[in-house]
Structure 1
Amino acid sequence: MPTTHLLYLHGFRSSPHSAKARKVGARVQTQHPGVTWWCPQLPPSPREAMAMLMHGIATWPHESMAVVGSSLGGFYATFVAEQTLCRAVLLNPAIAPARDLQRYVGEQTAWHDPADHFFFKPEFVDELRALECGPVAEPHHYFAVIAKGDEVLDWREMTARYPGARIRLLEGSDHALSDFDAQIDEVFEFLQLA
């Protein structure tokens, strides 16, 4: 079934203004104008972020929706996909953010607007832990783009998290997927937008 609703989830300290989010959004709007597109600014609290997302997609048809998530957004996208059994594209997905983000507790600045500050509270680590899922129920619903050159996350850990999923393993690249233009066609082919 073609995808009629697409959710995009940005990463930690990122925003809907990230290069990948803007590229995906622009392509949806120009080539698939009938698709419902939502790329929200996620609050720092994982619990609040997930409550907002689940409320926002409550009326979406699960059988024809999909989610794309980058880094921490990939962790969130996995949770959403497990709840809805929708298709998911994961771009260098965070695997254990409760472990990895503990050292970021405190004042943070946003990548795309250094004037934008937020506080990453200690309890957010527990909120992340509460969103951890077991093995994915429908591996064929997942497509992960994983860079061996990711300077933030371990590609082996990312690959091992999604056995049976479709995986595009890039020999180089980086955490931001600076070469995303070379991957976007395969991402859209997997998403099967209406």
Structure 2
Amino acid sequence: MIIYIHGFASCGFGSKAQKFKEYFEEEIITISLPTIPNLAIDTLEQIIEFSLNKDENVYLIGSSLGGFYSLYLANKYDLKAVLINPAVNPWNTLHRYEGVEFVTNYYDNSRFEFTQSHINSLKNYKLEDLKNPQNFITLLQEEDEVLDFNEAAIKLEDTELIVEEGGSHSFDGIERYFRKINSFFYN
């Protein structure tokens, strides 16, 4: 089973999630996670442990904040993961929401509260030591308008690192990597 983990203020129905769903069909789930980091991680851990207890293979694809979650979970459970323009220090990048009463979801314009305590809770999942860098493919685009790709490139330099010129935070042309991802997971 592949779990697609969306980014901050997104959901499992976003355009990137749907592209993965079209390609991987029944092999992938694209769930919409709670906006509270501890609840999101707990939800993912329950799904992963349920699958592993049934002797199923689990693979992760995470984008942005979902890449941060994927990094933590893949390291914890020794899973393969693909990280797409991942946040590596989200407590720094999400500070722009300090003092904002409500954050708007990109998919349906619903609004949610994201507090300083939520930002601080992300530090509970900070990764100090990457156990098996060969379990990761990291896809970065230099023109990511939200995150500095250099932070991820430095932190994840021991993974299979692919850095493209241009692009965006959404990772333009992600479909070009579907076969590579499929081969990475299943071979």
TM-score higher than 0.5 here?
Answer: yes
What does residue range 19-168 of structure 1 map to in structure 2 within 5 Å? 19-29=15-25, 33=26, 35=27, 37-61=28-52, 64-105=57-98, 106=100, 107-114=102-109, 116-168=110-162
Q: Could you tell me which amino acid in structure 2 is paired with residue 27 of structure 1?
A: Y
Give the letter for the 2:11 counterpart.
S
Give 2:42's aligned amino acid. A
Paired AA for residue 60 in structure 1: S
Larger mean CA deviation between 14-23 and 73-82 belongs to 14-23
Residue 63 of structure 1 deviates from its aligned partner by 7.5
Query: How many residues of Structure 1 are paired with residues of Structure 2 in the alignment?
Result: 183
1:9 CA displacement: 0.3
Instruction: Answer 1 or 2: higher relative contact order, Cα 8 Å, separation at least 6.
Output: 1
| Deviation readout 1:90-147 (Å, 9 max, x if unpaired) | 0000010011112213311111112x11111111011101111112100000001100
Point out where structure 1 has 5 or more consecutive residues left out of the alignment.
Answer: none
Identity of aligned residues (%): 27
Contact 1:135–1:161 under 8 Å retained in 2: no
Change (3 A) 1:138 1:56: same
CA deviations over 1:11-66 (Å, ceiling 9, x no partner): 0111112221111111111xxx4x3x322211111011111111122122278211
Root mean square deviation of aligned Cα:
1.6
| Unpaired runs of at least 5, structure 2 | none
